[in-house]
Amino acid sequence: MLKCVGTSRLDLLMFHSKHSRLFIFLSFSFSLTSQSRQHLEQITSAGPRPVGSQENEVLTVGYLLKQIEDIQVETAAGPHQLTIDIQRPTGTFSIDFLGGFTSFYDHITNIAVRLEPKGGAQHLMLANCHFDTVANSPGASDDAVSCAVMLEVLHSLANQSTPLNHGVIFLFNGAEENVLQASHGFITQHPWAKQVRAFINLEAAGVGGKEVVFQTGPENPWLVQAYVHAAKHPFASVVGQEVFQSGVIPSDTDFRIFRDFGNIPGIDLAFIENGFIYHTKYDTANRILTDSIQRAGDNILAVLKYLAMSEKLADSSEYRHGNMVFFDLLGVIVVAYPARVGTILNYMVATATFLYLAKKASMPGHGGGRYVRDLACATGVALLSWFVTLLSVLIVALLVTLLGRSMFWYNHFYASVCLYGAAATGKMILIHTLAKNLYYGVSEWKLGDLYFDVSLLLWCCSLVWLTQHGLCSAYVPMLMVAFPLATRLLLAKEFKHRGASAKYCVLYLLGLALPYVHFMFLIWVVFEIFTPIMGRSGTEIPPEVVLASLVTLATIFLSSFFLHFIYLVRSTKRIMAGLGFVFTIMFLLVSCGLFFPYSGDLDSPRPKRVFLQHTTRTFHNLQGQVESRDSGLWINSFDYTGIQHITPHIPEINETVRTRCREDRPFCGYPWFLPVKFLSRKNWYIPAPEVSPSSPVEFSLLSKEETSWGTIKMTFSAKGPSHMSLYLMPHRGASLSTWSFGDGTPRFDLSGEYFVFYSHGLDAPTWIFWFEIQLFAENPDPSGPEGIISVAISSHYFFGKDRRTAQLEEMLHRFPTWAFPSSWVSTYDMYRY
């Protein structure tokens, strides 16, 4: 994240009431200084900081310790005491991320800083950031800036003249990118962890902008209330929380570890803007705007201070139960109320809506169920228009895909709105214009009134459904029902006497302004997050289908309370002609390839992500002899376009060298760093000379024995670079019964395979592990021709002299400027037993 350190001044008046303590901040400034910017630049100047590298374990750790020790000396005479502890944990756990796998870490690094009153503190608040990065990225936003912000917050709190009521732990963790390992090491092993009552996690899924609260809890509504009360620049959405926790976004944070393994509640904040350069070489300090750092510093300091002074932190379990509905209005204020209040409010609005519709059904002239029949037919027309519109736009998306123009909008988002938005809007208007012609002898205002009721009914049904399923996001349809209903009731006479007059239109739009502005803001956030994700979601998910669906759904939702205008106006020919013209021109431009998906423009890069490994693969038979061996450049494209734009620049990378998965080999026989082969099934392999790292993997079977309970126990040793992946594939008639990882029970069987992710810091010992195999009747002979299990281990050299080869360097220089090839050296060794 962003780097931010500086001086701060805070004058605080405290007012006491019978039941609570209220803090009013009279003046506050979180001023950046040259030293603040230097923190961020100093951390990122080391370059990429993968776990195990000197840059991560020595340079960055040394710099952070120096800054913290300076604060310790500076504040020694104050009312607080500051304790520093360097933790090097070793541990293992299983996680259901990326399909599920098991993690093992050894001697990774945590810097834990405990700030508390000099008399000590029984209850602690935790603030967490991470200073490690993925390979090939300097990681300014993810997550150096957060560590810089935390340094300044630590400095500010330590210099307070008024002691805090509770302590605060500032955790600078050095192994988050290794799938949340360092946070697990702290929360499950550090002695301070037992006193932690709540936490704030600082993360990034983009570069800059506002940091959004996208997860809270579980339960513990007092945390949301604290954020609402204290944050200077609030930006929060329960919609984001429920979307993120649904799993549709392929990402996870330390929040999950603290929640699941520490059983403590917290707040998860992240920068989300400009996710196009997240985890790339472009994530540099100069792209972090001062305003972003300022906002983050203001919010985190204020919220941490509020919580560290809060009486609720001391007995958080008393305030544990219940959830909160929370959302901000354009980042100005946050609205928050208990979920149970939201449920009551939702049902009240739904009841009012059904009463409104029931009253209309009982009005004179609507006898015999005529209004109900008309409403049902109109609802059918609306639903049919939605289905036909979505189907039509998806056909357009399919045509774009077949023409080889996928992701044309990646660097030109407006083009997707013009193409898919025009198609969706035009189709909706066309269907309702045709439907209008079927109504003979019905006045325009009655049709308009009827289709307004249809929109109200559909939104009300979604409100009831979401509320019944316990989703706090039900507040959105609640707003989209309450405001239009109130507006219509207030304008009933104006509408009946004048129809769609200018006055009616203006007043109607004013009545819908608040829910529509908020809903459009949510839509913007959705596109801000999902558009960049399409550039790293693999080769199997068709991005045109995803984006076309999102644009169409946004069009359907936004048009809902404007559909009745189609029945009020005399003609829609000009509107449809205009939309048809926009769609036709845009489709022709897209078909001609005018919109190239990627950009190497340093001011606004939109890079294509490619993974490149120079690897040597060795396969052993049941007798331990080398069965086959090869070497090459293994290439993964992490978006749907594959290599179609790369081949013209590097002709050797073409469909003739595309790989095929060998189902008899663990993970297809390739060195997957993480278990993501289901996301990227299209890979390419170009023959190249063997790699010869200076510290090759040492892998051996230490023992194989039959246990008294009828299993076969195999013990192995492995020693190699800081990152290795272990793949286990039991053969037919055999299964893993227990192992030395996680809680001892093998989990997350991925189509008959198990994945274990391993990493270590400095001076780690040899990795020793074991597992037991249970044999079944269909394979009674473990010495048969197939054996009982295939074991493979891959090594990944992310830093140092082993990271590069001459062939890799030569290939990297041939990639176009708009591509970001993340590269390293690896090996893959497979054994059968």
> Which residues are identified as catalytic?
176
Q: Which residues pair with 114 in a beta bridge?
A: 83, 169
CA separation for the pair 556, 563 (Å, rounded): 10
Contacts of 23 (CB under 8 A, 6+ apart): 12, 13, 14, 230, 305, 306, 309
- Residues 6 or more apart from 426 whose CB is under 8 A from it? 576, 579, 580, 583
DSSP letters for 303-342:
HHHHHHH-SGGGGGGGG-S--EEEEEETTTEEEEEEHHHH
What strand order describes the sheet that includes 789-797?
A: 91-95, 101-106, 754-760, 723-730, 789-797, 819-832, 608-620, 626-637, 683-687
Q: Residue 61 region, left (φ>0) first, then alpha (ψ -120 to 50), else beta?
A: alpha
* 229 class by beta-carbon count within 10 Å (0-12 exposed, 13-18 middle, 19+ buried): middle
Residues 478-481: contacts with CB under 8 Å, at least 24 apart: 478/342, 478/345, 478/346, 478/349, 479/514, 479/515, 479/518, 479/519, 480/515, 480/519, 480/560, 480/561, 481/349, 481/350, 481/353, 481/456
Q: Where are the beta strands (DSSP E) in 321-418?
A: 324-329, 333-338
Is the separation of the CB atoms in 105 and 173 below 8 Å?
no
CA distance 817 to 51: 28
Residue 488 CA to its chain's centroid (Å)? 39
Q: How far apart are CA 473 and CA 477, in angstroms?
A: 8
DSSP bridge partners of 466: none
Q: HSE (CB half, 13 Å, CA atoms) of 774?
A: 9
CA angle 445-382-456, nearest 5°? 65
CA distance linking residue 216 with residue 388, whole number of Å: 38
Which two three-digit tokens encode residue 421? 């938005």
- CA 265, CA 256: separation in Å to the nearest integer? 10
- Name the residue with tokens 């450049």: 633
Residue 577 CA: distances (Å) to CA of 392, 552, 560, 574: 17, 19, 21, 5
Q: Read off φ and ψ for residue 272, nearest 5 degrees.
A: -125, -10
What angle, 0 to 180 degrees and rounded to 10, lies between the N-to-C axes of helices 145-158 and 34-45?
140
Strand pairing class (608-620; 819-832) = parallel
CA distances from 272 to 531, 706, 793 (A): 11, 53, 35
Question: Which residues share a beta bridge with 608?
Answer: 819
- Token pair 């030395």 in the structure block, residue: 740
CB 749 within 8 A of CB 758: no
**What's the length of the chain?**
833
Q: Report DSSP state, residue 486.
A: H
Task: Output the CA torsion 795→796→802→807 (10° steps).
Answer: 100
Structure tokens at 207: 């570069």
CA distance 5 to 35: 7
